[in-house]
């Protein structure tokens, strides 16, 4: 980032296919909004082969695990609730250097941590930075078959919980067990039971949501215990 010579740094991943208008769409938006600090565009999931039926039916519940992102066809301001993902985003270089990625977050061999771009972009917005959603700066994100499994999703969600424990260490709650408030233990066990029941009784779009909540909660519990 320090070696970059431009005013902006454009981020993507090594497993995406960019649209022909990707760079020009960002350049046009920079000209329209010279004061902007963040830009982001759509990320379309590109699944290898035919996905499992449960994933096909419940994909909208788990789409963030595959970096899917789309806030519509109209240009709009970026808010804390509409942050872009690292596979398709732009950050003003001087702010990127002021808010570097946290090496304790993000993917690395042996872990599934996340939230690294969320921390950076959230800090920029809280500092008064502005951003714009650029609908024409599109990319397709390739999702190989090994990621189209419950095992992958459970690992991803658990990593999110571990990341939350690192990012938000002051987890609220007066009464604690092994470093975590009682309500977090309640949420983890309740979501686990609902997901097990849902596997038999409900459609995938219901039990996948419970399974996600359970895995995130258990990951956060583990992170709180390791921190304490």
pLDDT in tens, 122-131: 999 999 999 9
The span from the first CA to the last CA of the chain, in angstroms, equals: 34
Global pTM?
0.86
Average pLDDT over residues 160-186: 78
CA distance 18 to 62: 23
Burial class (CB in 10 A: 0-12, 13-18, 19+), 201: exposed
What pLDDT band is residue 49 in, cutting at 50, 70 and 90?
very high
What pLDDT band is residue 181 in, cutting at 50, 70 and 90?
confident
pLDDT tens-digit map of 31-46: 999 999 999 999 999 9
83 against 201, higher pLDDT = 83
> According to the model, what pLDDT value does residue 180 have?
81
**SS3 for 69?**
strand
1 against 207, higher pLDDT = 207
User: Over 90: is that where the pLDDT of 16 sits?
Assistant: yes
- Mean pLDDT estimate for the chain: 90
* 123 contacts: CB under 8 Å, gap ≥ 6: 99
- Alpha helices (H) in 141-203, listed in sequence order: 150-167, 182-201
173 against 38, higher pLDDT = 38
Q: Which of 85-89, 189-193, 212-216, 222-226 has the lowest mean pLDDT?
A: 222-226
User: Over 70: is that where the pLDDT of 213 sits?
Assistant: yes
Q: Provide the pairing of β-strand 139-143 with 43-47.
A: parallel
Closest by CA to 164, choosing from 228, 99, 224, is: 224
Q: Tokens 């909540």 correspond to what residue?
A: 213
User: Over 70: is that where the pLDDT of 173 sits?
Assistant: no
> According to the model, what pLDDT value does residue 177 have?
76
Q: Which of 52-56, 65-69, 125-129, 159-163 has the lowest mean pLDDT?
A: 159-163
User: Over 70: is that where the pLDDT of 182 sits?
Assistant: yes
* 142 contacts: CB under 8 Å, gap ≥ 6: 15, 16, 17, 46, 48
> According to the model, what pLDDT value does residue 227 have?
73
> According to the model, what pLDDT value does residue 111 have?
67
């Amino acid at each position: 980032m320090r070696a970059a010579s431009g005013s902006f740094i454009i981020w993507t991943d090594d497993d995406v296919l960019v649209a022909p208008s990707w760079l020009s769409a960002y350049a046009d938006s920079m000209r329209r909004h010279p004061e902007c600090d963040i830009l982001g565009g759509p990320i379309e999931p590109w699944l290898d082969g035919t996905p499992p039926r449960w994933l096909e039916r419940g994909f909208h519940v788990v789409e963030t695990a595959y970096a899917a992102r789309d806030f519509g066809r109209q240009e709009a301001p970026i808010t804390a609730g509409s942050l872009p993902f690292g596979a398709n985003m732009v950050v003003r270089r001087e702010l990127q250097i002021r808010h570097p990625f946290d090496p304790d977050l993000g993917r690395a061999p042996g872990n599934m941590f996340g939230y690294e771009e969320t921390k950076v972009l959230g800090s920029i917005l809280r500092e008064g930075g502005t951003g714009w959603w650029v609908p024409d700066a599109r990319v397709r994100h390739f999702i190989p078959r090994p990621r189209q499994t419950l095992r992958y999703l459970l690992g991803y969600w658990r990593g999110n919980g571990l990341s939350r424990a690192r990012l938000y260490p002051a987890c609220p709650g007066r009464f604690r067990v092994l470093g975590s408030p009682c309500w977090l233990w309640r949420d983890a066990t309740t979501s686990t039971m609902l997901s097990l029941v849902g596997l038999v009784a409900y459609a995938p779009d219901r039990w996948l949501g419970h399974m996600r909540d359970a895995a995130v909660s258990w990951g956060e519990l583990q992170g709180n215990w390791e921190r304490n």
